[in-house]
Chains A and B, each alone.
Chain A
Amino acid sequence: MEVIRGRQRVTLGCAVLDQVLEGGFPCGAITELVGESTAAKTQLALQLLVTVQLPGSLGGSNGSAIYIHTEGYFPGRRLRQLASAFQSSRGLGFDPCDNVFVEAVGTIQELIALFDRLEQLFEMQREMPVRLLVIDSIAALFRSEFENNRAEMVVRAATLFQVSAKLKRLAHRYDVAVVVTNQVMDCMDGSSGIQIGNLAELVSSRRRVAPALGLAWGHCINIRIFLSRSQEFLEATAKRPKLDHQDVAEVSKSTKRELHVLFAPHLPYRSCEFVVNQSGIHGVLDDDRENA
Chain B
Amino acid sequence: MDDGGSIARLGLPPYLRSKLLACGYSSIADLHGASPLDLARDASISSDEALSVLRRIGATPAPIAGAKTAWDLMSFDRSRSRIGTGCSGLDRVFGGGVASKELTEICGAPGIGKTQLGMQLAINVQLPRSLGGLNGHAVYIDTEGSFMMERVLQMAQRSALVTPDQSVESLLSHIFYFRVFDSTEQIATINSLNKFLEEHKEVKLLVIDSVTFHFRQDFHDLALRARLLNSMAQKLMALAHHHELAVVLVNQVTTKGNGEIRPALGESWSHACTNRVILRWEGGKRQACMFKSPSLPPAKSSFSITTRGIGE
Contact = CB atoms under 8 A, between A and B. Distances in A.
A28 to B, nearest CB: 6
A268 B154 CA distance: 12
B177 A162 contact: no
Contacts of A26: 148
Interface stretch (A95-103, A126-134, A165-173, A231-239): A165-173
Contacts of A171: 145
Interface residues of B, number: 45
B111 A7 contact: no
A251 interface: no
A263 B111 contact: yes
Contacts, number: 111
A contact residues, range:
35 or more
Contact of A197 (B111, B182, B213, B260): B111
Nearest to A218: B110
Contacts of B151: 265-266
B148 A2 contact: no
Contact of A161 (B116, B152, B213): B213
Contacts of A215: 109-110, 253-255, 261
Contact of B181 (A29, A165, A214): A165
Given A1-B176, A193-B259, A219 B252 contact: yes
Interface string A1-40: 1111111000000000000001000101110000000000
Interface stretch (B8-16, B27-35, B62-70, B214-222): B214-222
B148 to A, nearest CB: 4
19 contacts: A4-B177, A29-B145, A157-B216, A159-B217, A161-B213, A162-B218, A165-B181, A165-B214, A168-B145, A169-B181, A171-B145, A172-B145, A172-B179, A195-B280, A195-B281, A215-B254, A265-B151, A266-B148, A268-B306
Interface of A: 1-7, 22, 26, 28-30, 157-159, 161-162, 165, 168-169, 171-172, 193-198, 200, 214-216, 218-219, 221-222, 224, 262-263, 265-266, 268
> Nearest 6 pairs between A and B by C-beta?
A263-B111, A161-B217, A195-B281, A266-B151, A218-B110, A162-B217
Interface of B: 109-111, 115-116, 144-152, 154, 172, 175-179, 181-182, 196, 210, 212-214, 216-219, 252-255, 259-261, 280-281, 284, 305-307
